[in-house]
Structure formats: C-alpha cells, structure tokens
Amino acid sequence: MTVISICLLPFLKFSFSFEDFFPQGDDDLDFFLEFIEDFETDDNFLLIGLHNEEGVFDSLFLKNVEKVSTAVDTLPYVLSAQSLMSIKTPSLGPFGVNFNPLINDLSPGGLSKAKEQIVNDPRWKYNLISPTGKDLAIFIKHDDYLGLEESTLLLSSVEEQLQSNSFDKYHLLGRVYFQHELAYLQIKEFVVSSSISSILVCLILFILFRQRSLIIISLVTILLGLVIFLGILSLLGRELNAISVLYPVIMLIVGTSDVIHIVTKYIDEIKKGNDIETSLSVTIRQIGLATLLTSLTTAVGFAALMTSKIGPVQDFGINSAAGVIVAYVVVITFTLALLSYLDPTTLRERTTNPRWNKWMTHLYNFTIEKKRLILISFILLLGVFGIGITMVSTNYKIENNLPRKGRITEDFKYFESNFAGFRPLEYAVTAQGGLSVSDPTVIFEVDKLEQKIVSYPSIKSTQSMNDIYKSANMASHFNDPEYYVLPEANVIESMKSLSSMIPMMMQNILISKDGTKTRISSRIIDEGADKVKAIGDEIDAWASQNIDPSIISVRRTGTGFLIDKNAVYVRQSLVQGLLLALLIISVLMVLLFRSFKMLFIALVPNIFPLLFAAALLGYLGIELEASISIVFAIVFGIAVDDSIHFLSKFKLARDKMPLEEAIHVTFLETGKAISFTTLVLFFGFMVMLFSNQPASLTVGLLISITLLSAWLADLLILPILLRNFFS
C-alpha cells in the first residue's frame, strides 16, 4: 500500500477557486448563475498596475504601455486588453461619428492637455489611472473560469511581455493571479509543514521514549499513515484546496497521539513483568478499543464540517475524517506488530522518564487539596469566556487571508490604494411592465440607483449602460467633460443610433440579448465583510423606498456578495455541526460506558475548550470565517479523545480497586499518556506558526493554546467530577 501510495503522490491535485467558496444550495447563488448566463462574470479580469514617479504622461512610458497592451491583446484566453493608449472615444464630425484615440499627441503640449482631460474623467479615474496621475492600469478581460494551468500560462505570457518592454516592476490583481499564487503557496506550505512536523515529532518521541527502536517504529508508522492517506486522496482524485495545508499536521499529530497511547500502555504492561503476548493482548483490549473510539470521535468532529455550505470546508471535513481512520488502522496493525520484535528487557530498563510519575502524583494531589480553588477558577473563567464570545466578529478582510509580506499582498494593497479595489459589487436590474432597458424611464431609474451606489467613499466608480448615453452626450458636444451626464429623455431617444455604435454596448457586457436586463458593476475597497454587507443592506433599503418597482426590479449579486454571505453560513453551520457531533459522540460514549453519568462527566470538561476558543477570537480580534471555523471541529474531536482515554482507564481500574486508588492509577498511566499527546499536539500545531498564510498561522495558534486548556480541564475537572459522582 505504501509503495502504491508513493507512486500516486506525483498525481496529487492542487487547486484554488473562488467559486469553491460560494455557499451551495443558496437562492442568491442560483440567481447569480442565471445572471451570468445573460452577462459575463464579474471576476474575468486581470489588472496590470504600472507606476511612474514622474507621472504616466510621459511619451516613452506610454509607448511601452501601448506595446504591452497590443501584445497582450493577442495572447491565448484574452478577450481584450484596454489601456489609455488603446481607448478610442467617439466624436461627431461633419460626416458622422468618428472614433479617435484618447491620447493621439505624444508631444509635451499634447500630453499636458491629455492629462487635464483624463485624470479627473470619471470613466478612467480609479479604473485606468490613479487620481495622482502616477499610476496606470491595463485592464485585461479573459475567458470565464480559467483553470490553474490556463491561469499559469496566461500569467507567464503577460509577465514576459511586460519584461520585454522595460517594465521590471509591476503589480497584478485578478482571479487568475490569485489562483496561481495561492495554489503555488499551498504546495510550498504543504511540503514545509510536512517536513517541520516530521522533525518535531521525531524530537518529541526521542524526549518521551529515549530509545532508538521505539522512535523509529513510531516515526515510520506515522509517516506511513500520512503517505497512505495522501495516496488514497490522489487515487480518488480529491483536489487539495486552500485548507489542505493542515492535512500533514493533522495526520502526523493524530498518528502520533495513537502511537503514544499504544506504546505507553505496552511499555507499562512490559514493566509489570508480563510477557510480549500478554502485554500485546492487554494493550489491544484496553487501549486499542479506547483508541478506536477516540478515532471515531475525532472523525465525527471533522465529519461535522459536512454541514457547512462551503465546498472546501466540506471536503476538509470528509478527507480529515478518513485520514483519522487511516491513521488508526495503520497504528493498530503496524505498530503493534513491530513492538512484538523488541526485547522486553530493554524496554523495562531504558524507556520513559521516571519523573513523569512524580509529576502526575503532584497533579493528582493538587486536585484533592485545591478542589475549591479549581472549581471557583473554572466558574470565573466561564464568565470571562462569555464576555469574549460577545466580541466575536465576522468582519473578515481579504487582506487578512493573504500571505504575510508576500508579493500578492503588496499588489493587493497597491490596487486598494491607487485604484477601485478588488471586491466586486454588482446589481442586476430588470425592466418591468414590458419596458426595455433602453427606455428613458428605465435609464433614469438606473441613474438614481447608480448615484446612490457611488455616493459611498469606498466605492470609487461604477459602470452601467448609462455610461453609453453619457459618452454619446459628451461626443455630441465636442467631448466637453461638462456634458458627461444623462441628457433629457427626448434627447436620449435621438441618441440611440449614436449609442449603438459605442463599443460598451456589446451584448453580454452591460445589456442582455433580449434588452430587458442590465447591470451596474463596481468594485469596493476591502473594509471587511460586515462593513461591505452593511453598505449593501443600506443600498437595498434605499432602493426599496426610492426605486419605482413598476419600472425596474433591483437585486444585489456577484462573486463578492456570495463569498461574503459565508459569514452568515459559517456561524450557522458551526453551531449545527457541533451539535450534530455532540449528539453522535454522546451516543458512542453511552455505548462504551453504558452510563449517562459518565457521559455527563465526559462532556463537561470538553465544553470548556470550545468556549475558550470562541473567547480567544473575541479578545484577539480574530474574525470568524471559513478557515477559522474548522478550529472548533478539530478542538472538539481531539479534546474528547483525552477524556475517553482517561475515563476508560478509570472504569477498568474502578472495577478492581477503591475510588481514590483508581483515580491515582489513571493519573499515573493515562494521565501520563494524555500529557505526552498534548505535548505533541501543542507543538505539532505550533508548527503552523511557520506558515506564511495568516489563516493557517491563526488556526495553529488557536488550536495549540486551546488544546492546553482541554488538557487542564481533563486533569483538573475530571477527577473532581468523578469523586462527586462516585463517592
């Protein structure tokens, strides 16, 4: 299986697509899919930003821009490339309509005149030129839904043209750029996290077991589990998405946790003087069964993510649940088989630090002597957590999910500062009562809505069919900028023939084929999902009161709107998933312990780390979004494991000895194993601090700290609950 898996590894697929993060089964998604059948998508563009400190109105600079724009226009997948040098504006002459270059005189005087006309022209400002006149953009429109290979080919071709025309410094922004850069980053992070986690696990195993043979057995087992898991993903054609960087870390730490429980129990049995067969038998009956249940509970915790409406989160849940089971099967078969070859005498003499038993005894005594302090502290902490939870925000920003100090992050900031930003904001408009979107009454209603949209400082410009009529009006008045406004209704009727000649009238861009639908397109500065939603809600409320529904119907749509809706679904699916996981895990515990009393004892300390994780989001100002929501599934699934191991050992010990002795023995054996695994888990997830992605770094930090709280809850609260319920 391992050999086959290694052969399959080169065929692993990596992908990144914004469509993956659309909420599945949502009415607004269905509407958007219908919308783009009439129009093109709102993210089929690539922006090239070029800076010239002396100003863009420089003849040599503009000539090079023209060369790039012309060359890019002929590239595969490119539908058009637009810059100040390629635009032609209409003007009325004695023989009809003429289309002249926006910049046709590159002399100093001609460029000075062009600068005055262009910099403050609402058609180009924030779209193709910055307000300072020092930055220029080339707008490339490409085919819809380009895949990773097509995106890579297009980007490399564009960058080749830029470099061959003396543009060594440039900025890029757009779907294909995000897709390429983030997919490459995933591969890099995947390799780095796997390597660092493996080294870390090796070091921890050495500290714990201090014997080369045990370390080799444990490490080989863990790595085999990871390789076989990845091989299965490759065989099934499962694509690794933006959250997949967590797979190596999860497989390594889950596998390590299983190995530590198995090996620790086996060594304890050997030290009691049992032979190999007896030690293996006891280990399989006691720890093997408990580890099976903990693996199932961890898998259930991950599988609960299937309740999410976000595709990558669902995939992460399914794949991680399968990975946990793969890790268990490999550990329970391979590890135990290899342990049987080791010399029992060596294991009795050289493994584990005797100080662990002393530390566990101190902790056991602490739960007796400081019972009141422990309970009061935990109750006070619950109040502190409650305050933190009220501070949790879903106002996530795109920038917060981009690589720290990465090129893509700097490019994103550049366009946010100098142009209209990246987040698309679309409004679909449908003419009512048999009207056409070219009827003056419809045009004026659209203008009212457009003026409301552009009134927000974070929305720098808009595009709509009204730009056509404004351009036509301006052309009929010798291109005087003062006439870039809608003319009177009777004039609009007379301008229809002129308007139809303007390129922006192209089908599927601003007006549908049947002439009953149009769109208002804009981009909004990345102020956060909640703020963007608030602006959208305000516009919707304004439109419901100020737009005549008998003339047009208005609906917000677009890729940005759909992705921002995830904030709502993240909260809903998080609660639903955790409740479902809680129900399933409760059933499993009842079947194992055959006691509702034990069920209650097991669940109480595991609610604590979940509340702690939620409070951390509030106090640290971390926005709750799709990639962060998985923290709760991971924490719950893993935290419950330790409780099950502790209570399973207590149940076995309680059948043979008094209550206090059973709790003490549980501390010495299972408490020690829980401490080992928590140590591995803590440092295993802390590996993600090396990540260049803020989301991965945050997830690693949250899980590491929260699992420490779960360890404290298990070893401090569980003994007190056991004494109260069984004394």
> What's the confidence (pLDDT) of residue 506?
45
Asked whether the predicted pLDDT for residue 505 surpasses 50, the reply is no
Q: Which of 32-41, 59-68, 231-240, 611-620 has the highest mean pLDDT?
A: 59-68
Quick one: average pLDDT of 6-13?
Answer: 86
**Which of helix, strand or coil describes residue 173?**
strand
Task: Tell me if 49 sits within 8 A of 172, measured CB to CB.
Answer: yes
User: Is the model more confident about 359 or about 252?
Assistant: 359
Q: How confident is the model at residue 51 (pLDDT cuts 50, 70, 90)?
A: very high
**Which of helix, strand or coil describes residue 83?**
coil
Asked whether the predicted pLDDT for residue 234 surpasses 50, the reply is yes
Lowest mean pLDDT among 307-316, 471-480, 494-503, 646-655: 494-503
From CA 473, how far away is CA 123, in angstroms rounded? 14
Quick one: average pLDDT of 517-528?
Answer: 88
> What's the confidence (pLDDT) of residue 499?
59
Enter the tokens of residue 611.
């509340």
> What's the confidence (pLDDT) of residue 184?
76
Share of the chain above pLDDT 70, in %: 92
Model pLDDT for residues 199-232, shown as the tens digit of each residue: 777 777 777 777 778 778 888 888 888 899 989 9
Among 312, 261, 268, 308, CA closest to 287: 261
Model pLDDT for residues 584-606, shown as the tens digit of each residue: 777 777 777 777 888 888 888 88
Q: How confident is the model at residue 326 (pLDDT cuts 50, 70, 90)?
A: very high
> What's the confidence (pLDDT) of residue 453?
93
Angle at 72 between CA 67 and CA 75, to 5 degrees: 140
> What's the confidence (pLDDT) of residue 508?
47
Among 358, 222, 235, 320, CA closest to 366: 358
Task: Tell me if 146 sits within 8 A of 36, measured CB to CB.
Answer: no
Q: Which of 341-345, 346-350, 521-525, 565-569 has the highest mean pLDDT?
A: 521-525
> What's the confidence (pLDDT) of residue 491?
78
Q: How confident is the model at residue 500 (pLDDT cuts 50, 70, 90)?
A: low
Asked whether the predicted pLDDT for residue 244 surpasses 80, the reply is no
From CA 241, how far away is CA 532, in angstroms rounded? 26
Task: Give the length of the chain.
Answer: 727
Enter the tokens of residue 674.
């829980």
Quick one: average pLDDT of 328-342?
Answer: 88
Task: Tell me if 304 sits within 8 A of 577, measured CB to CB.
Answer: yes
Quick one: average pLDDT of 32-37?
Answer: 82
CATH architecture type of domain 180-390+565-726: Up-down Bundle (1.20)
Quick one: average pLDDT of 106-111?
Answer: 88
| Cβ neighbours of 666 (radius 10 Å) | 28
Q: How do beta strands 13-14 and 239-240 pair?
A: parallel
Quick one: average pLDDT of 333-338?
Answer: 88
Residue type, 81: A
Instruction: Return mean pLDDT, the chain.
Output: 83
Asked whether the predicted pLDDT for residue 660 surpasses 80, the reply is yes
| Residue found under tokens 């910055």 | 130
